[in-house]
């Protein structure tokens, strides 16, 4: 039989999961960056000190890269406090998570470990194996030169080849002298004085050389387009069009759903109207890819989607909450057999969504419940203010009087971390709430939200985390093999 302490522990873990999914230490609409960082630091320290194994297991969930890096750093900093078995499991989890993170984020983490003086055996082994697994060391040396050099120094590693060592640590003071056999390294050398070599480099590196040589922006973007990544094309295609560079065009039908939603919302309304068929088709295609075999399996679904003024987010996370809501809208439409959407603004054209007005969540929840859904999904930051508290009262009456048997499943997904409350802001007691960062994580988050109803104890939650950890590590082992994070002293 579980004790009160077990229930408290389960609530603590769920609270931290919500933080690790949504919080990034950046400014939100209702909280500044300092509040976010202070709240996050406390939660990480609390979890590590009280639930180390569960803290590490969170790496197997769909947490954002900011919190994944914080977890990895704190586990490595406190390696002496872990048992041998904990270190083995943590090493595998860290290795797998690092393989999934963007390389620039990993190199930044290695730099933080160096500055913090974290250089134990496990840290050196993890850095060694991560660098050894990189598909193109020369690309890393050019694109992330400072981070690459720092990682090698910190782990006391020999560069993967003498040329990379010369490039990373010495380079050349006179770019016209010397020669690199590796084409990419030699392109970097020649780009100092030869304009044509600029177009042999990755876009982020070439951009600096283009400015140095005074290459017109339009001409540069036209010629460098083949070297751009998919997301660089998405980010730059509008500014490239304005500059007259038509070659920079992203294939929208292959873009991730939430990133695509953010791109759409960044377009002027007139452009969205003019490109309605193209943009709608791309969003629907991304939603179908995300839903996969689950398409049409959710029955009758209603959604309440927040497009109030606070969905603008902040200067650092511009329109991010609204982008998540728009992406969820398209995904739920694919998952559902029958779907109804209610935007807080009352608008019915999702493509033209924009942050505006108050947040009448209570009224929109009433509208959605009137359709008799089997599943109600609310995507909102939870700031119900028109009038305040109506959503909580509507949900209380619905649960206790109109639907006590729970025929309608209700879940609240919040894309915003409430630093003051150390949690995502909840609509009502008894309504499961989970943080959401990307719409792609909606399905597993609806599953984990059931643990947040207050009826599930530590044993069931621990079993769920163990299951997710096993699947997470198995996927990594199947793809690349694995190691336990240990290595020679």
Sign of the alpha-carbon dihedral angle for 9, 90, 66, 45: positive
Q: Residue 247: is its pLDDT beyond 80?
A: no
More confident residue, 146 or 175: 146
pLDDT at 482: 37
Reply yes or no: is the peptide bond before residue 387 cis, omega within 30 of 0. yes
Q: What is the mean pLDDT of residues 49-69?
A: 93
Q: Residue 214: is its pLDDT beyond 90?
A: yes
Six-digit token pair at 279?
């943009």
Beta carbons within 8 Å of 25's beta carbon, 6+ residues apart: 33, 36, 37, 40, 66
Q: Residue 479: is its pLDDT beyond 70?
A: no
Q: Residue 363: is its pLDDT beyond 50?
A: yes
pLDDT band at 263 (very low <50, low <70, confident <90, very high): very high
Q: Residue 346: is its pLDDT beyond 60?
A: yes
pLDDT band at 25 (very low <50, low <70, confident <90, very high): confident
pLDDT at 1: 53
Closest CA to 18 of 424, 429, 402: 424
What domains sit in the chain, N to C, each tagged with a CATH number?
4-222 (no CATH), 258-455 (3.40.50)
pLDDT band at 75 (very low <50, low <70, confident <90, very high): very high
pLDDT band at 477 (very low <50, low <70, confident <90, very high): low
Q: Residue 343: is its pLDDT beyond 60?
A: yes
pLDDT tens digits, residue range 224-244? 988 998 888 888 887 777 666
pLDDT at 417: 80
pLDDT band at 456 (very low <50, low <70, confident <90, very high): low
For the ranges 20-29, 288-297, 313-322, the one whose mean pLDDT is highest:
288-297
pLDDT at 174: 46
pLDDT band at 489 (very low <50, low <70, confident <90, very high): very low
Burial class (CB in 10 A: 0-12, 13-18, 19+), 158: exposed
More confident residue, 486 or 442: 442
In three state form, how does the secondary structure of the chain look?
A: CCCHHHHHHHHHHHHHHHHHHHCCCCCCCCCCHHHHHHHHHHHHHHHHHHCHHHHHHHHHCCCCHHHHHHHHHHHHHCHHHCCHHHHHHHHHHHHHHHHHCCHHHHHHHHHHHHHCCCCCHHHHHHHHHHHHCCCCHHHHHHHCHHHHHHHHHHCCCCCCCHHHHHHHHCCCCCCCCCCCCCHHHHHHHHCCCCHHHHHHCCHHHHHHHHHHHCCCHHHHHHHHHHHCCHHHHHHHHHHHHHHCCCCCCCCHHHCCHHHHHHHHHCCCHHHHHHCHHHHHHHHHHHHHHHHHHHCCCCCEEEEEECCCHHHHECCCCECHHHHHHHHHHHHHHHHCCEEEEEECCCCCCHHHCCCCCCCCHHHHHHHHHCCCCCEEEEECCCCCECCECHHHHHHHHHHHHHCCCCCCEEEEEECCCECCCCECCCCCCCCCEEECCCHHHHHHHHHHHHHHHCCCCHHHHHHHHHHHHHHHHHHHHHHHCCCCCCCCC
When the pLDDT of each residue in the chain is averaged and rounded to a whole number, the result is 87
pLDDT at 480: 45
């Amino acid at each position: 039989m579980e004790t009160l302490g077990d229930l408290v522990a389960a609530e603590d873990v769920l609270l931290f999961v919500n933080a690790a999914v949504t919080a990034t230490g950046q400014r939100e609409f209702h909280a500044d960056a300092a509040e976010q960082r202070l709240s996050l630091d406390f939660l990480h320290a609390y979890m590590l000190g009280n639930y180390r194994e569960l803290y590490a297991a969170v790496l197997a969930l769909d947490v954002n890269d900011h919190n994944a890096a914080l977890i990895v750093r704190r586990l490595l900093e406190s390696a002496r406090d872990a048992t041998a078995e904990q270190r083995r499991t943590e090493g595998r989890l860290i290795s797998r998570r690092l393989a999934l993170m963007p390389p620039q984020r990993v190199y930044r983490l290695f730099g933080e470990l160096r500055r913090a003086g974290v250089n134990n055996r496990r840290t050196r082994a993890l850095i060694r194996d991560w660098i050894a697994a990189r598909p193109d060391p020369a690309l890393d040396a050019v694109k992330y030169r400072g981070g690459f050099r720092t990682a090698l120094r910190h782990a006391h590693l020999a560069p993967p080849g003498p040329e990379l060592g010369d490039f990373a640590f010495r380079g050349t003071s006179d770019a016209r002298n010397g020669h690199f056999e590796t084409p990419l390294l030699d392109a970097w050398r020649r780009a100092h004085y030869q304009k044509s070599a600029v177009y042999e480099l990755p876009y982020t590196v070439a951009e600096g050389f283009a400015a140095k040589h005074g290459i017109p922006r339009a001409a540069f973007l036209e010629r460098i387009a083949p070297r751009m990544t998919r997301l660089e094309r998405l980010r730059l295609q509008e500014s490239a069009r304005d500059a007259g560079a038509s070659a920079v065009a992203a294939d929208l039908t292959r873009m991730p759903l939430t990133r695509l939603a953010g791109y759409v919302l960044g377009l002027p309304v007139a452009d969205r109207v003019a490109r309605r068929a193209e943009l709608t088709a791309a969003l629907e295609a991304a939603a179908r890819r995300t839903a996969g075999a689950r398409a049409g399996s959710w029955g009758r679904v209603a959604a309440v989607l927040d497009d109030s003024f606070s969905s603008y987010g902040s200067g650092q996370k511009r329109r991010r909450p609204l982008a998540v809501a728009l992406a969820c809208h398209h995904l739920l439409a694919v998952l559902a057999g029958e779907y109804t959407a209610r935007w807080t603004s009352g608008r019915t054209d999702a493509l033209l969504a924009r942050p505006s007005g108050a947040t009448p969540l209570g009224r929109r929840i009433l509208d959605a419940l009137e359709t008799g859904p089997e599943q109600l999904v609310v995507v909102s930051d939870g700031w119900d203010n028109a009038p305040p508290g109506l959503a909580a009262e509507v949900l209380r009456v619905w649960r206790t009087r109109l639907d006590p048997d729970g025929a309608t499943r209700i879940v609240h997904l919040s894309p915003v971390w409430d630093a003051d409350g150390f949690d995502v802001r909840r609509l009502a007691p008894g309504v499961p709430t989970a943080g959401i960062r990307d719409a792609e994580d909606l399905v597993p988050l609806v599953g984990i939200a059931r643990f947040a109803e207050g009826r599930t104890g530590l044993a069931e939650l621990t079993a769920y985390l163990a299951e997710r950890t096993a699947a997470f590590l198995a996927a990594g082992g199947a793809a690349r093999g694995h190691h336990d994070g240990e290595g020679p002293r």
